[in-house]
Structure 1
Amino acid sequence: MNTLDSHALDLLFHEARSQNGWRDEPVTEEQLRRLYEIMQWGPTSMNCQPLRILFLRSPEAKERLQPALMPNNVAKTMSAPVVAILGYDTKFYENLPRTFPHNQKAKSLFEDKPDFADTTAFRNSSIQGGYFIIAARAVGLDAGPMSGFANPKVDAEFWPDGRVKSNFLCGLGQGDPEKVFNRSPRLAFDEVCTLV
């Protein structure tokens, strides 16, 4: 089995940090496309792929987001070169005949079952959100994921038809090393894991 070398692990995990401030450097459309091209290959249950992403790149787009932000998230969000709104399509199952072609009846598992569909969409979009952060780091971008915002306000502003719901936000760009917090402790293996 192939494994990543220490440089790759540092880039993706050991040295990577959640960003709280940004340098004034652009993020290109090519970088965003590469990010997606990498993250799309991460697995989801039944290949359901519920994640939907809005990349807010203009000051005007970010201004639309500002009323939904908690006060301590405003400065870092507004200064990020790009802010991604990661959401989930509550009717993801409409794509299953194409994305899960070996079972043409898969769609029927979710139709008329909104609670099951919503739980599946939220769970799998969260998994895809993890891939998103790692893919951002892989293409040379720093990421600043956050959940300090009012989901209903974001949904009403950006997805008013109600089909897509917001999960979390993520700033993208080149992080300002002066605004990174000291690394916080992590729980040890024996505190989290049990071998059975």
Structure 2
Amino acid sequence: MTAILAAEALDQIFGAARSNHRFLDRAVDDATIHKLYELTKLAPTGFNSQPGRYVFIRSEEGKARLAPALSGSNREKTLAAPLNVVVAWDSRFFEHLPVLLPGRDVSAFFVEEERIRSAGVLNAALQAAFLIVAARGVGLDAGPMTGFDAAALDRELFPDGRLRSLLVLNLGYGDRRDIRERGPRLAFEEAAQIL
């Protein structure tokens, strides 16, 4: 890769982007949802494990299933979003490794429950971050949210216990009126170093 994205593209993804939970009354169509997944699945993950799983919620029935797990302060803004995505991780993600990582047997690495959980959560979080970048890249605003009862949501959406929710992401075409200024960020010297 030698090309640098145009400044406008970088600004759309990073500079002008904000976490946003106010959206226009405009649906996110199926083609855009599929495009989001096609971009997100390209995220790097350890052993190409791809433990992230996604439940896209757009219908009133789906939102009714989501609502009881949301904290009071997050319920209204989440249900008002045109599209919600429950990002979960598959606790048996390693079963797909013979297909996702052909020619390498790493089954011995995924025996201990804590190692499975650690790898699953970390790599699904990477995929969730790429989902936010993908959303911004296709013109959507994103509002990630962790204010929900994960156990209750898992009982509702994933009753067999295999998938475990990680975050809820509110997506849509942002209403950017009165959007907040970006919060402060640490300076390079406070957060990074070059050795």
1:179 Cα offset (Å): 5.2
Kept in 2: contact 1:20–1:179 (CA 8 A): no
Spell out the pairing of 1:65-144 with structure 2 (5 A cutoff). Answer: 65-103=66-104, 105-110=105-110, 112-144=111-143
Kept in 1: contact 2:21–2:142 (CA 8 A): no
Structure 2 unaligned blocks of 5 or more: none
1:101 Cα offset (Å): 0.2
TM-score scaled by length of structure 1 = 0.95
Kept in 2: contact 1:22–1:76 (CA 8 A): no
| Equivalent in the alignment of 2:46 | 45
Q: Distance in 1 between matches of 2:116 and 2:31?
A: 33
Structure 1 stretches of 4+ with a deviation exceeding 4 A read none
Kept in 1: contact 2:57–2:63 (CA 8 A): yes
Kept in 1: contact 2:87–2:165 (CA 8 A): yes
| Equivalent in the alignment of 2:13 | 12
1:30 Cα offset (Å): 0.3
| SS, match of residue 160 in structure 1 | coil
Q: Distance in 2 between matches of 1:145 and 1:81?
A: 14
| SS, match of residue 178 in structure 1 | coil
Of 13-22 and 91-100, the range deviating more from structure 2: 13-22
The alignment covers a number of residue pairs equal to: 194
| SS, match of residue 123 in structure 1 | helix
Matched residue type, 2:91 = T
Matched residue type, 2:93 = F
1:145-176 Cα shifts (integer Å, max 9, x gaps): 11111111111110111110001010111111
Structure 1 unaligned blocks of 5 or more: none
| Equivalent in the alignment of 1:56 | 57
CA RMSD of aligned residues (A): 1.1
| SS, match of residue 177 in structure 2 | helix
1:61-84 Cα shifts (integer Å, max 9, x gaps): 111111111111111101111100
Kept in 2: contact 1:20–1:180 (CA 8 A): no
Q: Distance in 2 between matches of 1:84 and 1:153?
A: 16
Identity of aligned residues (%): 39
